[in-house]
Amino acid sequence: GFRGQVTLDGPSGTGKSSVARAVAARLGAAYLDTGAMYRAATVAVLDGGVDPDDAEAVARVVAAARIEVGTTAGEEVVLVDGVDVAERIRGAEVTRAVSPVSAVPAVRRQLVDQQRALVEAADAVVVEGRDIGTVVLPDATCKIYLTAAPEVRAERRAGQLGVTDPAEIAALAEDLRRRDEYDSSRADSPLRPASDAVIVDSTDLDREAVIDRVCELAGRAV
Ligand code: C5P
């Protein structure tokens, strides 16, 4: 089977998570969702009563939090200090606050160390995020940057959430745009393709075609 590391980076709403899970299953590889770790850190910040824009306070609260992510019997497990937050991390409150929290260098150092330790334990792994090919695993065997036109990303996100109202779709598009801009322009580990990443544009591809393409690229990199 496949041995090595597949990194899957890109902006929000490209279908990255669903593709990463499917590719990991097909390759018989472990799967790590690093976004879930930044989202869990954000839960700790919100529950700590700290302003997400107060970098010093954010760093202090996250340093004291125990963040665990993994999969048990096919179910995503996300714990903050032993408390299950798997549903909460997908909510609007966390989504709004996650970008400033993940821009704090001390938070990134802490979670990147944890990510590398998790990856080291696996022979084969698919890791998704924003900085995996550039910072977390610069020597990965197969690097993919998944992107899609902004309108298409907003529509897909709306489809996932069951939103049909045009004004609500426009608001989703604005949320995506704001988060991508924040993630791309931060000083520490901005969102961008690694120089050796293959860019996969899913604007005109369905989910299955993207999964096929990523598996093909992973197979070639072995
Ligand atoms: O992928 P997901 O939408 O769950 O990521 C949530 C947020 O976490 C991103 O918008 C980004 O701010 C942050 N993130 C990051 N680095 C990663 C993964 C996620 O900064 N490797």
What CA–CA distance (Å, rounded) separates 80 from 102? 16
208 CA distance to ligand 1 middle (Å): 24
> Which residues are annotated as part of the binding site for ATP?
10-18
112 CA distance to ligand 1 middle (Å): 12
| Ligand 1 site residues, Cβ closer than 6 angstroms | 12, 34-35, 38-39, 98-99, 102, 129-132, 179, 183
Q: Tens-digit pLDDT profile for the chain (222 aa)?
A: 789 999 999 998 899 999 999 999 999 999 999 999 999 999 999 999 999 999 999 999 999 999 999 988 878 999 999 999 999 999 989 999 999 999 999 999 999 999 999 999 899 999 999 999 999 999 999 999 999 999 999 998 898 889 999 999 999 899 899 999 999 999 999 999 999 999 999 999 999 999 999 999 998 876
Q: What is the pLDDT of residue 222?
A: 60
pTM, rounded to two decimals: 0.95
ipTM for the whole complex: 0.99
What is the residue with the minimal CA distance to atom 1 of ligand 1? 35
193 CA distance to ligand 1 middle (Å): 14
Alpha-helical (H) ranges within 5-140 are 16-27, 34-47, 55-63, 92-102, 105-120
Cα 157 to chain centroid distance, Å, stands at 15
